[in-house]
Amino acid sequence: MNLKTVLTAETINLHLKGSTKDEIINELLDMLVAAGKISDRQAAFNAVMEREQKMSTGMKHGIAIPHGKTDSIEDLVACVGIAEKPVEFDSLDHEPCRIFIMTLSPLEKTGPHLQFLAEISLLFKSAEKRQEIIGAETPEAIVKILAE
């Protein structure tokens, strides 16, 4: 899996405005719709919210990875958003999040989803990378940081 093929400038937003979990998820979905990555927005929303109800996707260190599986897409899609202000996301460490990485994958394919998560897991380990992402000034800079 190459993050550069999944993430593009169109699927990265450095200025998410949302102040709640639902608002952030909707902004991320709107980005995927605008980029032509998903056509059935409602199915995608339902998949992500169903997953959130099972257990929050707020991780640690200000990162959340809202995700879901839906038969309305054929291949893994992903986007990244940086919130201007920290957002409460029911995180494992009880800290608000600023970095949001959304993935949607087909129901029957688990490999690409797991590969993608493995590639971004470096964010959990590196405070420096997290700061670089929050401080990035262009979507291209985000792709470069994640792909290093």
| Model confidence, pTM | 0.93
**If residue 146 lies in a helix (H) or strand (E), which one and from where to where?**
helix 139-147
Report whether 123 contacts 133 (CB < 8 A). Answer: yes
Alpha-carbon torsion (123, 124, 126, 128), positive or negative: positive
Which residue ranges in the chain fall short of pLDDT 70?
A: 1-3, 122-123
Q: What is the pLDDT of residue 2?
A: 63
- How far apart are the C-alpha atoms of 102 and 34, rounded to whole Å? 15
> For residue 23, which of 88, 92, 103, 94 has the smallest C-alpha distance?
88
Q: Which domains does the chain have, with CATH numbers?
A: 3-147 (3.40.930.10)
What pLDDT score was predicted for residue 1? 56
pLDDT for 120 = 76
